[in-house]
Copies of this chain bind each other. A is one copy, B any other.
Amino acid sequence: MQRSMGILGTRWKPIIIYTLRDRKARFGQLDALIENISRKVLTSSLKELEEDGIILREEFKELPPRVEYALTEKGKALIPIMCQLAKWNEEYYEEPAPLIL
């Protein structure tokens, strides 16, 4: 478990994996699909996920350049887990009590 969390224990990485669950995506698409993530964190997270064998980066020698990110087998194995995590929130989420000023 400690090792799993060494790889995934950040706010954004599971969200990136979840976003790639049913499609490849290009850098700009990920940036657009994931609200509030900064390009910088996206870059570094993608790089680390690639190093950990979870995603694959495919570069097309075109103009303008195109790069696609997709899950590896190891990454695909996480899809059901990520989906359950999303479902868990839907089931148990409660609006925070409104602040009365």
A63 within 8 A of B: no
- For the complex, count residues of A whose C-beta is within 8 A of B: 33
A14:B9 contact, CB within 8 angstroms: yes
- Which residues 49-96 of A sit at the B interface, judged by CB distance below 8 A? 53, 74, 77-78, 80-82, 84-86, 88-89, 91-94
Of listed A4, A9, A82, residue having the most chain B CB within 10 A: A4
A88:B77 contact, CB within 8 angstroms: yes
Nearest chain B residue, comparing its CB with the CB of A7: B89
**CB of A83 to closest CB in B, whole Å:** 9
Contact of A10 among B9, B18, B94 (CB under 8 A): B9
When distances are taken between beta carbons in the complex, the residues of chain B under 8 Å from A81 are 81, 84-85, 88
